[in-house]
Amino acid sequence: MISLSNTAILILTCNDFEALDITISQVLATTPQSVPIYLLSNCHGMPGADICEDMCRFTSRQNYGRVHWLNPMKAQPAFFGIQDAIENHIDAEYILKLDDDAFPITPAGLKG
């Protein structure tokens, strides 16, 4: 069974700020407080990405200690951003990676 004490959620964000708003709200509502959430900005410079970056900045400030914003300030292939996040920022054995348009509706995904 997966231990939530060693689990994190990584949300890959791009420029779909409307979907990201729903995803962030749903992840916060369906995830135990003990599970850290990482928001990885991945499309810096694209139209709409600045709004997503502002949303990530705001969410991480409003949920200090629980939500962490990773912003490399560049557009890059998703693999490289995820690899950097895992190697340098996320200290968890289990990582649930979500796209910014995934809308969890129950906490069942973390029950293992």
CA pair distance 35, 112, nearest whole angstrom:
14
Please give the structure tokens belonging to residue 82: 């995820």
Per residue in 19-34, pLDDT tens? 999 999 999 999 999 9
Least confident span in 1-10, 40-49, 84-93: 1-10
Q: Which residue has the higher pLDDT, 104 or 32?
A: 32
Q: Across the strands, what pairs with 95?
A: 8
Residue with tokens 């890059």: 76
pLDDT digits (tens, 9 = 90+) for 36-85: 999 999 888 889 899 999 999 999 999 999 999 998 887 788 899 999 99
What is the pLDDT at residue 2? 65
**Which amino acid is located at 42 in the chain?**
N
